[in-house]
Amino acid sequence: MLKTFFNRHDYKKSIPFQRNKDFWATFNLIEKKADYALVFRSDLYPKSILKAIKNKANKFIAYQWDNFRIFPEGKRYIPLFDTFYTFDPYDVDLQKGIFPATNFYFQDDTLSNETLTPSVYFLGSLYPNKMDRVALVSSILKITRKLNYQQNIYFFNTDKIKGVDSYQSQGINFIKHPISYNESLANTKKATLLIDILGGKNKGLSFRVFEALNYGKKLITNNVEIKKYDFYNSNNIYVIENGNTDNLKDFLLLPYEDIPQEIKGKYCFDNWIHYILNLEPYTPIILPK
């Protein structure tokens, strides 16, 4: 009815906030303006909410970790913000106030030096008409199994997509409920190899890439853009191009090579937040073209 009578195209976004009395009760308790308000994925919020948040902050900043080719409506929100960042190099436009950033990793002081059993971890979503993503993971596992890798593979199948039976017999798990961040991070730490398979048109790098960087894990990805980044090392990162997994076995037998701290540290959250808020000192985060 909201959409019909008031032409509210963002009515689906507004309803959860209208019903969330606890959110508004807490929000209205804020009397003084914050120095900064940082919004992730601003396109997920109704404009009314964003404007309310903006009124509570001296500087209003957005970070977009999905691109405008997938979510073009995100462009409508740019004028609301003092600074707008994107992780996709093809969306950066300095003249329009769209600045570069990447995803990041959280510094972890609990890292262990124990020797791990070779194992591979993947967590991703299953999309309708995107079974090729499962097929690609399956082709990787055929090679890792030959090298006796343990596997911990999960596809989040909320739409109950059919046609997965043959993949389940290969040890690929299709789950209905999400895995928590902490559980996923624990799985990441125990693995020696991570898989990162794009499911859409994103050119920016996923959080999985930076988890691999942080924990010193080898990575298999089909995002060819990763070759342009300063931390790319062919010993550590295998890039699948056009579905080709030739020489993957050779890659898995190569030792991991440590990345210099001056490069690795640029992508930790501490540097990231200083860069986003323009609080010196920080190392600028530049996206390659």
- Tokens representing 151? 């596997």
Q: How confident is the model at residue 132 (pLDDT cuts 50, 70, 90)?
A: confident
Identify whether 271 is part of a domain.
Answer: no
Q: What integer pLDDT is reported at residue 192 of this predicted model? A: 98
Identify whether 273 is part of a domain.
Answer: no
The residue among 51, 72, 100 that closes a domain is 100
Cβ(64)–Cβ(42) below 8 Å: yes
Residue 187 has pLDDT above 70, yes or no: yes
Identify whether 260 is part of a domain.
Answer: yes
CATH of the domain at 257: 3.40.50.2000
Q: What integer pLDDT is reported at residue 20 of this predicted model? A: 64
Q: Are residues 125 and 251 in the same domain?
A: yes
Q: Are residues 210 and 152 in the same domain?
A: yes
Q: What integer pLDDT is reported at residue 53 of this predicted model? A: 92
Top-confidence residue, 45 or 101: 101
| Whole-angstrom distance, CA of residue 106 vs CA of residue 62 | 19
Q: What integer pLDDT is reported at residue 120 of this predicted model? A: 98
| Whole-angstrom distance, CA of residue 119 vs CA of residue 116 | 8
Q: Are residues 260 and 129 in the same domain?
A: yes
Identify whether 192 is part of a domain.
Answer: yes
pLDDT tens-digit profile of 245-267? 999 999 999 999 999 999 999 99
pLDDT tens-digit profile of 193-244? 999 998 767 789 999 999 999 999 999 999 999 999 999 999 999 999 988 9
* Cα→Cα distances 282→97, 172, 268, 275, Å: 20, 41, 11, 6
Look at the block and give the residue holding tokens 């342009």.
Answer: 228
Average pLDDT over residues 20-33: 79
Range of the domain at 253: 119-264
Q: How confident is the model at residue 29 (pLDDT cuts 50, 70, 90)?
A: confident
Residue 269 has pLDDT above 90, yes or no: yes
Top-confidence residue, 272 or 178: 272
Residue 23 has pLDDT above 80, yes or no: no
Q: Are residues 125 and 260 in the same domain?
A: yes
The residue among 72, 100, 128 that closes a domain is 100
Residue 9 has pLDDT above 90, yes or no: no
Q: Are residues 51 and 177 in the same domain?
A: no
Residue 171 has pLDDT above 80, yes or no: yes
- Tokens representing 183? 């559980």
What percent of the chain has pLDDT above 90? 60
Q: Are residues 248 and 137 in the same domain?
A: yes
pTM reported for the whole predicted model = 0.87
Q: Are residues 91 and 137 in the same domain?
A: no
| Whole-angstrom distance, CA of residue 162 vs CA of residue 190 | 31
Q: Are residues 146 and 95 in the same domain?
A: no
Identify whether 37 is part of a domain.
Answer: yes
Q: Are residues 55 and 136 in the same domain?
A: no
Identify whether 274 is part of a domain.
Answer: no
pLDDT tens-digit profile of 93-124? 888 889 999 999 998 877 777 889 999 999 99
Top-confidence residue, 5 or 113: 113
Domain count, the chain: 2
Identify whether 230 is part of a domain.
Answer: yes
pLDDT tens-digit profile of 57-90? 999 999 998 888 877 777 888 999 999 999 999 8
Q: What integer pLDDT is reported at residue 12 of this predicted model? A: 46
Q: Are residues 138 and 195 in the same domain?
A: yes
Q: Are residues 91 and 138 in the same domain?
A: no
Identify whether 109 is part of a domain.
Answer: no
